[in-house]
């Protein structure tokens, strides 16, 4: 894959392929270029977790904060049945971070299925505003063992922290990332 190298648009910062671990952390110090040179971060990729359950939540933790994450998200899933959920929480403390998405269990009925993610963290260097992220995650299954073939979730996470963003973590509270998961992080102006 060819990476953007010009000073216009978005620039590739780092890639990670977590497997067998419960969290993955992205840092400015671990990137190809300091995040202070950008206004926004965009993360794209695919991931799943290792449970045999059809869904387990992943969490987004901004700036290493273990408290004060506000979140809102909506999920819709359907095929043979249709379900819709919505959720809001203020100042979540445990598990650390805000809900990011429910993901298929890669070891169960959804074997070899992955969710695709688009995460946008904006205004990362504004020290007069809380840090915010929006996310969209979708997955589907070709396995008849589950009654839900298509899942789609959207939401936002905010941490009550005005310092410039220097790190964020995606994690599971009880499971690990499945082999084949990957993320690409880019920075933009």
Residues 98-119 have pLDDT tens digits of 777 767 666 665 666 778 889 9
**Residue 185's closest CA among 133, 146, 149?**
133
Quote the pLDDT of residue 74.
82
Question: Is the N-terminal amide bond of 95 cis, ω within 30° of 0?
Answer: yes
User: How far is the CA of 181 from the CAs of 87, 110, 165, in angstroms?
Assistant: 26, 14, 24
Residues 19 and 175: their CA atoms lie apart, in Å, by 11
| Per-residue confidence (pLDDT) for residue 49, from 0 to 100 | 85
Contact (CB, 8 A) for 109 and 147: no
pTM for the full model? 0.85
pLDDT digits (tens, 9 = 90+) for 57-67: 888 888 887 66
* Mean pLDDT of each 10-residue bin along the chain, 189 residues long: 56 96 96 96 91 77 80 75 70 70 66 82 94 86 60 85 93 88 94
Domain coordinates in residue numbering, the chain: 28-188
């Amino acid at each position: 894959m060819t990476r953007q190298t010009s000073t216009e648009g978005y620039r590739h910062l780092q890639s990670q392929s977590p497997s067998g671990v419960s969290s993955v952390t992205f840092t400015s110090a671990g990137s190809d270029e300091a995040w202070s040179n950008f206004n926004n971060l965009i993360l794209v990729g695919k991931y799943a977790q290792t449970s045999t359950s059809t869904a387990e939540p992943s969490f987004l933790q901004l700036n290493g904060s273990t408290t004060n994450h506000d979140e809102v998200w909506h999920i819709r899933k359907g095929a043979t049945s249709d379900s819709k959920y919505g959720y809001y929480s203020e100042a979540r403390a445990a598990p650390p971070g805000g809900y990011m998405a429910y993901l298929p269990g890669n070891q169960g009925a959804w074997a070899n299925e992955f969710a695709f993610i688009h995460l946008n963290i904006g205004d990362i260097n504004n020290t007069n505003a809380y840090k915010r992220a929006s996310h969209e995650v979708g997955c589907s299954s070709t396995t008849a063992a589950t009654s839900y073939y298509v899942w789609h979730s959207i939401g936002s996470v905010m941490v009550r922290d005005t310092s410039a963003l220097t790190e964020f973590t995606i994690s599971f509270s009880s499971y690990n990332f499945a082999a084949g998961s990957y993320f690409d992080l880019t920075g933009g102006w």
